[in-house]
Structure 1
Amino acid sequence: MTSPETHDFDALLGDLEAASNVPAKRRHISIKPTVQQVTSVLYNRGALPDELARLVSLIATRNELDQASLGAIVRSLYPSAKVGDEPVLRLVGALGHGQLKPALALQGLFLRWIVMVYHLLENPNILSRAYSVLFNLLDTAAIRPQLCHLLALITRRKHVTPFRIQAILGLSRQTGNDPPLTGLLRVFKNYYPEIIVGEVTKGRASNFKHPDPQWRIRLDEIQQRRIEHHDDGGPQNGFAVNHALGRLMKGAKALIIPAVHTQHAQENSVTLEEIDNPNAFVENLDKIELPTQLVAVMADPLLQKLLLLRPDADAFSRVSSWMLACLDDVSSGSADPSTLVDMVDVVHDYVLGTKSFPPLLLTFFDLFFKVWDGVDKREMILETVEFAPLMKFTEIYQSLFKPLETSILNNSADSQVYLLKFYTGLLRRWSIVLRSEDDLDSLPVGSVAELVVHVNKLALTLTQTSPTIPTYLAIVDFYECNAATFSQPKVLKHLAITIPPALVVYLLFFSNSIEVLSRLCSILATYKQSWEAVMTPSSPSSRPLLPREREHINTFNAFLMDICNCLWRNRAFATSDTDTNAQGCNLPASTKPAITKYLRSIDPGSNTLGLNSLFGLSNSPVLSLQAISSMRELEDAEIEQSQEELLARHAGPVTHGSLDRLRKNGGLKLSWEAYRSNVLRYLEAKGLPGIPELMYNTMKNLMKERNQ
Structure 2
Amino acid sequence: MDDDNDFFIRPSSSLTSADERAAAAVRRLENIALPTPGSARVKVDKVVVVDALNVIGPHAVRNGLTDEMMSRLVEVIANPNSALDSGTASLLVKALLPRNRVPESIVLKIVGCLGRGDGRAPFTAQPALLRLLLLLQPYLASPTHLSKLYGVLFHYLGYTTLRPYLCHILFLITRRKHVTPARISAVNEYIKWSVEDGALNALLRVYADYYPDVVVANTRRGGRRGVVFKDPDPEFSERLAAIQAKQGDRPSSGGFEGAKRRRTGEGSYLIPDSHTYGSTSTTITTLEEIRSIHDLVESIEKLELPSQLASVLDEEVLQVLLIHKGGEMVDARLNHWVGHMLEEEWTAIRLAKAGKRTERFVSLLEKIERYTARTGQMLLAVEDWLADMLPSWDGMILREGVMKLLAWVSPEAEDIKEAFLDPVQALFDKGDKVFRRGWLVCIGKIVRRWGVYHVAYLTSDASSLQHLATCLNACTALVLSESACYTVVLVCYEQFAALPLDRDIMQIHLPPAPLIQHVFFSGSPTHTSILCGLIARFKTAFELYDARARKGHGELLSKDFVAGFNSYVMDVCNCLWRGRGFNRSDRNATGFGLGEEAIEKLRGVAAARGDNLAGLFSLTHSPLFALYSARTFASILERQCSTVSVTDPVTNVMLKQLAESGGPKIDYSDFRVELLEELREGGLVGVVEFLYGSMTSLMSRKSGVGNGLGR
Shift of 1:562: 0.7
Q: Classify 1:664/1:332 alpha carbon distance in 2 versus 1 (closer, same or farther; 3 Å).
A: closer
For 1:615, the equivalent position in structure 2 comes to: 617
**Counterparts of 2:697 and 2:619, CA distance in 1:** 17
Task: Kindly report which structure 2 residues correspond to 1:576-591, keeping only aligned pairs within 5 A, or say none.
Answer: 578-591=585-598
Q: Are the equivalent residues in 1 in contact too, given 2:407–2:445 (CA < 8 A)? A: yes
Picking from 536, 552, 570, the partner of 1:525 is: 536
Task: Kindly report which structure 2 residues correspond to 1:146-545, keeping only aligned pairs within 5 A, or say none.
Answer: 213=245, 246-248=261-263, 256-266=270-280, 267-326=282-341, 342-353=360-371, 354-369=375-390, 372-391=393-412, 395-407=415-427, 410-434=430-454, 437=455, 439-440=456-457, 443-464=460-481, 466=482, 468=483, 470-488=484-502, 490-491=504-505, 495-536=506-547, 543-545=554-556
**Counterparts of 1:540 and 1:348, CA distance in 2:** 47
Q: Classify 1:289/1:505 alpha carbon distance in 2 versus 1 (closer, same or farther; 3 Å).
A: same
Q: Which moved more, 1:590-599 or 1:510-519?
A: 590-599
**Counterparts of 1:500 and 1:347, CA distance in 2:** 33
**Counterparts of 1:261 and 1:663, CA distance in 2:** 85
Task: Kindly report which structure 2 residues correspond to 1:682-701, keeping only aligned pairs within 5 A, or say none.
Answer: 682-701=678-697
Q: Are the equivalent residues in 2 in contact too, given 1:352–1:384 (CA < 8 A)? A: no
**Counterparts of 2:631 and 2:552, CA distance in 1:** 41
Task: Kindly report which structure 2 residues correspond to 1:641-652, keeping only aligned pairs within 5 A, or say none.
Answer: 646-652=642-648
For 2:567, the equivalent position in structure 1 comes to: 558
* Cα deviation 1:255-289 (Å, max 9, x = unaligned): 84211111122222421122243332222211211
Q: Which moved more, 1:623-632 or 1:449-458?
A: 449-458
Q: Classify 1:248/1:371 alpha carbon distance in 2 versus 1 (closer, same or farther; 3 Å).
A: farther
Question: What TM-score, normalized to structure 2?
Answer: 0.58
1:705 matches 2:704: no
Task: Kindly report which structure 2 residues correspond to 1:4-19, keeping only aligned pairs within 5 A, or say none.
Answer: none
Shift of 1:407: 5.0
**Counterparts of 1:415 and 1:210, CA distance in 2:** 35
**Counterparts of 1:406 and 1:685, CA distance in 2:** 43
SS at match of 2:592: helix
* Structure 2 residue identity aligned to 1:487: L
* Cα deviation 1:112-152 (Å, max 9, x = unaligned): xxxxxxxxxxxxxxxxxxxxxxxxxxxxxxxxxxxx99xxx
Q: Classify 1:395/1:340 alpha carbon distance in 2 versus 1 (closer, same or farther; 3 Å).
A: farther
Shift of 1:294: 1.2
Shift of 1:589: 1.3
For 2:578, the equivalent position in structure 1 comes to: 569
**Counterparts of 1:256 and 1:537, CA distance in 2:** 53
Q: Classify 1:541/1:560 alpha carbon distance in 2 versus 1 (closer, same or farther; 3 Å).
A: farther
**Counterparts of 1:278 and 1:414, CA distance in 2:** 42
**Counterparts of 2:351 and 2:331, CA distance in 1:** 25
**Counterparts of 1:377 and 1:335, CA distance in 2:** 11
For 1:653, the equivalent position in structure 2 comes to: 649
* Cα deviation 1:344-396 (Å, max 9, x = unaligned): 5324312322332122222212343355442233122211110111226x811
Shift of 1:292: 1.0
**Counterparts of 1:562 and 1:335, CA distance in 2:** 52
Picking from 582, 590, 603, the partner of 1:596 is: 603
Q: Are the equivalent residues in 1 in contact too, given 2:261–2:269 (CA < 8 A)? A: no
**Counterparts of 1:334 and 1:595, CA distance in 2:** 56
Shift of 1:662: 1.5
* Structure 2 residue identity aligned to 1:689: V
**Counterparts of 2:529 and 2:328, CA distance in 1:** 49
Shift of 1:523: 0.8
* Structure 1 residue identity aligned to 2:471: H
* Cα deviation 1:55-77 (Å, max 9, x = unaligned): xxxxxxxxxxxxxxxxxxxxxxx
**Counterparts of 1:502 and 1:347, CA distance in 2:** 38
Q: Classify 1:371/1:445 alpha carbon distance in 2 versus 1 (closer, same or farther; 3 Å).
A: closer
**Counterparts of 1:584 and 1:331, CA distance in 2:** 52
SS at match of 2:271: strand
Q: Are the equivalent residues in 1 in contact too, given 2:497–2:538 (CA < 8 A)? A: yes
Q: Classify 1:632/1:210 alpha carbon distance in 2 versus 1 (closer, same or farther; 3 Å).
A: same
**Counterparts of 2:675 and 2:261, CA distance in 1:** 62
**Counterparts of 1:541 and 1:623, CA distance in 2:** 44
Q: Are the equivalent residues in 1 in contact too, given 2:429–2:478 (CA < 8 A)? A: no
**Counterparts of 1:441 and 1:418, CA distance in 2:** 25
* Cα deviation 1:31-65 (Å, max 9, x = unaligned): xxxxxxxxxxxxxxxxxxxxxxxxxxxxxxxxxxx
**Counterparts of 1:326 and 1:310, CA distance in 2:** 24
For 1:47, the equivalent position in structure 2 comes to: none
* Structure 1 residue identity aligned to 2:653: G
* Cα deviation 1:466-513 (Å, max 9, x = unaligned): 2x2x2111212112222222213732xxx3211111111111111111
**Counterparts of 2:276 and 2:460, CA distance in 1:** 38
Shift of 1:525: 0.8
Q: Are the equivalent residues in 1 in contact too, given 2:262–2:270 (CA < 8 A)? A: yes
Q: Are the equivalent residues in 2 in contact too, given 1:299–1:346 (CA < 8 A)? A: no
* Structure 1 residue identity aligned to 2:649: P
SS at match of 1:288: coil
* Structure 2 residue identity aligned to 1:583: T
* Structure 2 residue identity aligned to 1:303: L
Q: Are the equivalent residues in 1 in contact too, given 2:271–2:314 (CA < 8 A)? A: yes
**Counterparts of 2:522 and 2:348, CA distance in 1:** 53
Q: Are the equivalent residues in 2 in contact too, given 1:304–1:350 (CA < 8 A)? A: no
**Counterparts of 2:333 and 2:549, CA distance in 1:** 51
Shift of 1:322: 2.2
**Counterparts of 1:246 and 1:684, CA distance in 2:** 53
**Counterparts of 2:348 and 2:639, CA distance in 1:** 78
Q: Are the equivalent residues in 1 in contact too, given 2:581–2:617 (CA < 8 A)? A: yes
Which structure 1 segments of 5+ residues have no match?
1-147, 150-185, 191-207, 217-243, 604-608, 640-645
**Counterparts of 2:377 and 2:365, CA distance in 1:** 11
Shift of 1:298: 2.9
Q: Are the equivalent residues in 2 in contact too, given 1:562–1:573 (CA < 8 A)? A: yes
Q: Are the equivalent residues in 1 in contact too, given 2:499–2:507 (CA < 8 A)? A: no
* Structure 2 residue identity aligned to 1:308: I
For 2:227, the equivalent position in structure 1 comes to: none
For 1:626, the equivalent position in structure 2 comes to: 628
Q: Which moved more, 1:593-602 or 1:648-657?
A: 593-602
* Structure 2 residue identity aligned to 1:401: L
Shift of 1:324: 3.9
Across the aligned residues of Structure 1 and Structure 2, the Cα RMSD in angstroms comes to 3.7
* Structure 2 residue identity aligned to 1:633: S
* Structure 2 residue identity aligned to 1:482: F
Q: Are the equivalent residues in 1 in contact too, given 2:571–2:582 (CA < 8 A)? A: yes
**Counterparts of 2:549 and 2:346, CA distance in 1:** 58
Count of aligned pairs: 454
